[in-house]
Amino acid sequence: SSPAWGHGLWHGTLAPLALGVTTATYSGKFDAARLFDALRDYRITNLSAAATHYRMMRMADNAIKPGSLSIPKLTFTGEPIDSDTAAWAAHMFGAPVRSMYGTTEVGVILVNFPGASDFDARPGSLGKPVPGQRVEVHDIDGAPCPPGQRGEIMLWRNDEWFPTKDLGYTDEDGYFYHAGRADDVIISAGWTMSAVEIEDILLKHPDVREAAVIGSPDEDRGHVPKAFIVSVRPGDDAFTTELQTLAQTRLSRHEYPRLIEYIDELPKLPAGKINRKALRERDRVTYTHVV
């Protein structure tokens, strides 16, 4: 990401300078083929990118053969990575893609890298707290959540708990897992749904290049899941039914996008993350116009 953003500044600029590590920074509109060429030509051994960039590389993987590039360290930050893209990256580059989780205010607090005798990098996990950081998952009342229960990821800082605004949970071994942003939770007719879980399922469809889910206002249910889909396939009724059925068969029967809008490109922030605020604004304008 750009040096103007936390990850790009601390881990893409200052840390390499302090350690004397040569870095290569991508500039301009993202192009997967161009990045593949750079990875090969500059013999990159440590790649850090947003999950969206890995997805875009996956969609253009005909530009490179699996195994032709070996990159020992792959990391992502800023947003969750779907399971299919994570599996693709491991197959393509010969190493698991690992999370570096934190906030701009405090830096990295959870990493999925082995650094102690009781630590194994686990696929899909955010990892464990970095040395010196106290991190917990709390429920709505501020009490620590038991393993498996979702709550907000909290950091002990300046003698008080600092809210990250991210949802997550831990397993029995103390590994943390991401469950989306707090404002990505969709409550529809009393049901609580995760936008991230729905996105992960939609991205398993072979014709879906990108997917983002938000809560769209609904007079009867309060909100309903709405998916924004990027695909080369026409967004007709048959495609919509396929996607809705896929979500219903993999998740709960009510946990599917009741609304689907097909767009050419998802709006993104400078760091590469999906700009959900822009999608909510787009949907708000559409909803207001319809009402």
Q: Which of 195, 265, 185 is nearest to 226 (CA)?
A: 195
In angstroms, the Cα distances linking 159 to 110, 138, 156 are: 19, 16, 7
Predicted confidence at residue 49, as pLDDT, reads 86
Q: Which of 41, 176, 21, 36 is nearest to 98 (CA)?
A: 176
Predicted confidence at residue 204, as pLDDT, reads 94
Predicted confidence at residue 290, as pLDDT, reads 39
**Considering the domain 101-181 in this protein, what is its CATH number?**
2.30.38.10
Predicted confidence at residue 61, as pLDDT, reads 67
Predicted confidence at residue 107, as pLDDT, reads 82
Under 8 Å between Cβ of 2 and 266? no
In angstroms, the Cα distances linking 55 to 166, 211, 242, 273, 275 are: 22, 10, 21, 11, 16
In angstroms, the Cα distances linking 287 to 47, 92, 280, 284 are: 40, 42, 10, 5
- Please name every residue paired with 288 in a beta bridge, in sequence order, or none if there are none: none
Predicted confidence at residue 1, as pLDDT, reads 62
CATH topology match: 6-95 vs 189-290: no
Phi–psi pair at 23, nearest 5 degrees: -125, 155
**Which CATH architecture best describes the domain 189-290?**
2-Layer Sandwich (3.30)
Task: Spell out, as residue ranges, where the chain has pLDDT lower than 50.
Answer: 288-291
Predicted confidence at residue 280, as pLDDT, reads 92
User: Cα 263–103–73 angle (5° rounding)?
Assistant: 80
Q: Pairing relation of β-strands 128-129 and 135-138?
A: unpaired
> The whole model's pTM is what?
0.71
**Which CATH architecture best describes the domain 6-95?**
3-Layer(aba) Sandwich (3.40)
Sequence ranges of the domains in the chain = 6-95, 101-181, 189-290
